[in-house]
Amino acid sequence: MVRHDEYESASQRARRKRERNPWAIRARYDRDTQRVVVGLSTQLDVAFPPNLVQGLEGAKPSQLECIEITPSGFGLHFPRLDADVYLPALLEGFFGSKRWMAAQLGELGGRSKSKAKAAASRRNGRLGGRPKKIAAR
């Protein structure tokens, strides 16, 4: 069970956090724009495409229609996906864990096409292509 002083300390931290950061007061999925729209305590609305956010990528509109706001206002929960989004991180431009974001960037880089990339690929092909992986012993 939580002691009273621990509860008070946690409550004070939460109050300080709310003084420094906006929190969600409403959230909805807009099918027309295909964006999640979050109304903030600062009277500002922010919208983001769900396919950019870890846990929401590939979600169907019907899975995004139900959005719950956590009691603190700092979290969005999508019960049909069992996915959570931390609002302060999202507002800072973090759409998922570091590992997930790095994978997304790597995938984008792999799709890029340039003359330099094509030339490097041709050079590597003339050398026999990628070296074979050697199994660790």
pLDDT digits (tens, 9 = 90+) for 88-103: 888 776 555 556 556 6
As a whole-number percent, the residues of the chain with pLDDT over 70 amount to 81
Q: Could you tell me the pLDDT band of residue 61, with boundaries at 50, 70 and 90?
A: very high
Q: If you write DSSP's letter for every residue of 94-127 in order, what string do you get?
A: --S-HHHHHHHHHHHHHH---HHHHHHHHHHHHT
Ordered structural domains, the chain, with CATH: 4-93 (3.30.2020.40)
Secondary structure letter of residue 51 according to DSSP: G
Whether the full predicted model's pTM is greater than 0.75, yes or no, is no
